[in-house]
């Protein structure tokens, strides 16, 4: 252990809040304030303050486990690695390389994500690799690429938010999911700006808003189109901007004009006067922003929905200008970097496309292989999981817990159980790891050095603060050892800085160019924004905090309007399933809860699942506060206590998704996929409610 405080970053959400890890006299570390990092300025939520508790050997894995006679038992590293290599070799020999699947995570460092993609394609030769970030912001990524030619969660730093005139926040409950970020929105209002929150629930974030719209889940696309209709009808289009900096306006305009206010009110439930007030508040200031999150994105039409909100920004001249623009609030800790460097089914490092011959040549040269040896694009995350035990016979899984987090989770659990062989690398024995044939205990955030990229596109250095327990190895060591056993002796270093140096070369010239970033710079500069191409040694590239100010990342520099029209959710309520279910998070838990459910303080604050419903709906059901309620969809049944509140629409129920067992919300959710992003429809499905007899 080092003798002084180590500056690093929180392991949870994409804010990647700065913190210090300080040694304590009886061993271990505590989290202390780090005020110099501009994203959180020292502030931390409960998850961040207690993050060090998951480092304890009391809650984490410290020995490899192998399945013997139906049970997981301790084993040596040599035994575990030999078994994994043998099973992967057998699967390839008997069924071909695509029978080996790889599933990654949005919490892996850039070095791990990069190496995992390389391992899948160079060592296993498989196309079947994707990651849980597909469930996070793939729709926003697809929408951003269509419109701007480039996807970066926020095209500006968070510090720009207080300087704008109005923010429309769509489907985000920042007060619970990213509490330290709320200060930027409070400062916005203190500066005279306004905040509009769009959410079917009266969340803690919505309580801070100047205007709160409560649309029916699954209707965000119609809402955005209705607002654009009013912008046109009221003469608020920035015609000069549209002419100078965009293309495709006439088609998008025609599509929007089919969504008149009264029609949109019938679809969304948002009154026409609120639609008009939203347009007024958004258009009157000189600058404004739209920020989306999982609400509009986790839909079977999420890409089109994001496109409609971008169209609103473009028509009003609110993109590519100071303190204006569209942005996506990335969820997972390295959700941004995790999809830039190769663990996504269709991508190579640097955010290059796997089916681009030039990209294949560049990366293949860095890797020392022939371009033709690289497999093509594979299945998206849900499709990959759905193919387990059928086309995919063995799976290497790192940093994800799909038994809890995947849609139609009971089905995915059965698919995982049907595998010939499953290996899980994780910090804790998650619900998915419990099903594995081999479990490898790997290092976590404070026990290793590596980089992550936060929601602003700011590349950060996480520093090792403590020595991992005996018996624990890094994911990079795991892939090095497996590659060696599978006949690839070179190209998989275990030193993260060495991996990053190769990543720099692989990303050079790509959309997400990291080639001008070094560990030294990251240690000195509080992060560097990509793209940051390599420059001459005398004057390094400063990084790019603000994108699109001069031109968009399209061939002609113009942003693209994309014409879209409203369509229903994949599953609408009917007589048998008359209520809508939407899902989300609570402040004291994170994602599948695999780590946060092991922290006593967080469990005391959020001990288990619940069903949030309106008093009128509860009265019809005959349910009182705390009564067990069954929520039933076409995919399964979940039971949790009732939480009755007027802060939700009467036609909607809400469940958080952090828990396994009978209260598992994702037992119910619909895996209907967006045709472009392949995002499942987590945010809207039809259910019925039932009382549960004692």
- Distance between the two ends of the chain, CA-based, in angstroms? 53
> Is 264 in a helix, a strand, or coil?
helix
| Topology at the third CATH level for domain 6-55 | N-terminal domain of TfIIb (2.20.25)
Task: State the chain's mean pLDDT as an integer.
Answer: 96
| CA separation, residue 169 to residues 88, 316, 510 (Å) | 46, 17, 30
Q: How many CB atoms lie within 10 A of CB 114?
A: 29
Q: Which of 380, 421, 10, 27 is nearest to 178 (CA)?
A: 10
| CATH class given for the domain over 579-691 | mainly beta
Burial 417-442 (b: 16+ CB within 10 A, else e): eebbbbbbbbbbbbbbbebbbbbbbb
pLDDT computed for residue 536 by the predictor: 58
C-alpha to C-alpha distance for 284 and 206, rounded to whole angstroms: 22
| CA separation, residue 152 to residues 129, 417, 511, 529, 578 (Å) | 22, 36, 10, 10, 38
Task: Give the tens place of pLDDT for each residue, 385-434.
Answer: 999 999 999 999 999 999 999 999 999 999 999 999 999 999 999 999 99
pLDDT computed for residue 518 by the predictor: 96
Residue 606 Rama label (left phi>0; alpha psi -120 to 50; beta): beta
Rounded to 10 degrees, what is the CA torsion of 109, 396, 152, 177? -80
pLDDT computed for residue 539 by the predictor: 66
| CA separation, residue 517 to residues 37, 114, 156, 317, 501 (Å) | 18, 16, 18, 32, 9
**Cβ–Cβ under 8 Å, residues 145 and 139:** no
Element of type H or E holding 621:
helix 615-621
Query: What tokens were used for 28?
Result: 């271990």
C-alpha to C-alpha distance for 581 and 651, rounded to whole angstroms: 9
| CATH classification for the domain delimited by 65-134+336-529, as one of 3.20.20.140, 3.40.50.740, 1.10.357.10, 1.10.260.40 | 3.40.50.740
C-alpha to C-alpha distance for 37 and 525, rounded to whole angstroms: 10
How many residues make up the chain in this entry?
694
Q: Which of 519, 524, 515 is nearest to 543 (CA)?
A: 515
Query: Dihedrals φ, ψ of 160, to 5°?
Result: -80, -20
Query: What tokens were used for 505?
Result: 């070369």
Q: Is the dihedral of CA 169, 175, 180, 182 positive or negative?
A: positive
pLDDT computed for residue 209 by the predictor: 98
Query: What tokens were used for 551?
Result: 């031109």
C-alpha to C-alpha distance for 353 and 373, rounded to whole angstroms: 16
| CA separation, residue 487 to residues 97, 328, 394, 491 (Å) | 14, 42, 18, 11
Those residues whose C-beta lies under 8 Å from the C-beta of residue 111, and which sit 6 or more positions away, are 450, 451, 476, 496, 499, 500, 503
**What are the structural domain ranges in the chain?**
6-55, 65-134+336-529, 154-328, 579-691
- The residues pairing with 440 across neighbouring beta strands, listed in sequence order, are 425
pLDDT computed for residue 1 by the predictor: 41
Per DSSP, the residues of 521-548 read HHHHHT-EESP-----TTS-----SS-S
* CATH number for the domain whose boundaries are 154-328: 3.40.228.10
Tell me: cis bond preceding 531? Omega within 30 of 0 counts. yes
Query: What tokens were used for 370?
Result: 């022939």
Instruction: Spell out, as residue ranges, where the chain has pLDDT lower than 70.
Output: 1-3, 536-539
């Amino acid at each position: 252990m080092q003798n002084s405080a180590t500056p690093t970053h929180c392991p949870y959400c994409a804010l990647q809040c700065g913190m210090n890890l300080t040694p304590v006299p009886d061993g271990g570390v505590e989290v202390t304030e780090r005020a110099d990092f501009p994203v959180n300025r020292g502030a931390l939520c409960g998850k961040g303050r207690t993050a060090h508790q998951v480092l304890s050997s009391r809650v984490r894995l410290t020995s490899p486990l192998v399945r013997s006679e139906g049970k997981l038992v301790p084993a040596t590293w040599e035994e575990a690695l030999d078994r994994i290599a043998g099973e992967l070799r057998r699967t390839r020999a008997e069924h071909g390389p695509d029978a080996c699947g790889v599933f990654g995570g949005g919490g892996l460092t850039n070095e791990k994500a990069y190496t995992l993609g390389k391992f899948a394609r160079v060592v296993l030769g498989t196309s079947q690799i994707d990651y849980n970030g597909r469930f996070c912001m793939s729709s926003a990524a697809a929408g951003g690429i269509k419109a701007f030619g480039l996807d970066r969660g926020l095209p500006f730093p968070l510090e720009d938010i207080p300087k704008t005139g109005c923010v429309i926040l769509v489907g985000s409950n920042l007060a619970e999911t990213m509490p330290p970020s709320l200060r930027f929105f409070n400062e916005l209002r203190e500066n005279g700006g306004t905040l509009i929150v769009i959410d079917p629930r009266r969340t803690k974030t919505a309580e801070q808003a100047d205007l709160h719209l409560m649309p029916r889940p699954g209707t965000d696309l119609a809402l955005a189109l209705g607002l654009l209709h009013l912008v046109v009808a009221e003469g608020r289009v920035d015609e000069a901007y549209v002419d100078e900096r965009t293309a495709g306006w006439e088609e998008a305009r025609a599509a929007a004009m089919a969504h008149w206010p009264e029609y949109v009110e019938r679809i969304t439930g948002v009154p026409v006067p609120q639609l008009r007030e939203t347009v007024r508040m958004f258009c009157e200031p000189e600058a404004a922003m739209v920020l989306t999150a999982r609400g509009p994105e986790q839909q079977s039409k999420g890409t089109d929905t994001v496109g409609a909100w971008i169209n609103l920004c473009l028509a009003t001249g609110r993109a590519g200008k100071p303190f204006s623009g569209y942005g996506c609030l990335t969820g997972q800790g390295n959700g941004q970097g995790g999809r830039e460097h190769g663990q996504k089914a269709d991508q190579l490092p640097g955010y290059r496309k796997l089916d681009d011959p030039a990209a294949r040549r560049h990366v293949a040269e860095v890797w020392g292989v022939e371009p033709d040896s690289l497999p093509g694009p594979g299945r998206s995350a849900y499709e990959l999981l759905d193919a387990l035990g059928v086309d995919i016979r063995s799976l290497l899984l790192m940093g994800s817990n799909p038994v809890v987090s995947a849609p139609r989770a009971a089905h995915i659990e059965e698919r995982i159980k049907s595998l010939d062989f499953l290996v899980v690398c994780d910090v804790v024995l998650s619900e998915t790891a419990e099903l594995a044939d081999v479990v490898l205990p790997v290092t976590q955030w404070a026990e290793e050095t590596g980089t992550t990229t936060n929601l602003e596109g700011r590349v950060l250095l996480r520093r090792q603060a403590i020595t991992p327990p005996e018996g624990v190895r890094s994911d990079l060591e795991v892939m090095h050892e497996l590659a060696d056993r599978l006949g690839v002796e070179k190209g998989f270093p275990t030193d993260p800085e060495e991996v990053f140096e190769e990543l720099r070369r692989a990303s050079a010239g790509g959309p997400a160019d990291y080639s001008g970033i070094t560990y030294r710079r990251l240690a000195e500069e509080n992060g560097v924004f990509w793209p940051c191409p390599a420059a001459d040694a005398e004057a390094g590239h400063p990084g790019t905090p603000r994108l699109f100010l001069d031109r968009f990342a399209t061939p002609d520099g113009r942003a693209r309007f994309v014409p879209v029209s409203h369509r229903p959710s994949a599953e609408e309520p009917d007589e048998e399933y008359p209520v809508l279910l939407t899902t989300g998070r609570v402040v004291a838990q994170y994602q599948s809860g695999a780590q946060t459910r092991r922290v006593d303080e967080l469990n005391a604050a959020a001990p288990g699942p619940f069903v949030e419903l309106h008093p009128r709906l509860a009265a019809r059901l005959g349910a009182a506060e705390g009564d067990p309620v069954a929520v039933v969809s076409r995919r399964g049944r979940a039971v949790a206590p009732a939480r009755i509140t007027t802060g939700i629409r009467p036609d909607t129920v809400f469940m958080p998704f952090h828990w396994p067992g009978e209260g598992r919300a994702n037992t119910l959710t619909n895996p209907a996929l967006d045709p472009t992003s392949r995002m499942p429809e987590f945010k809207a499905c039809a259910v019925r409610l039932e009382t549960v007899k004692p």
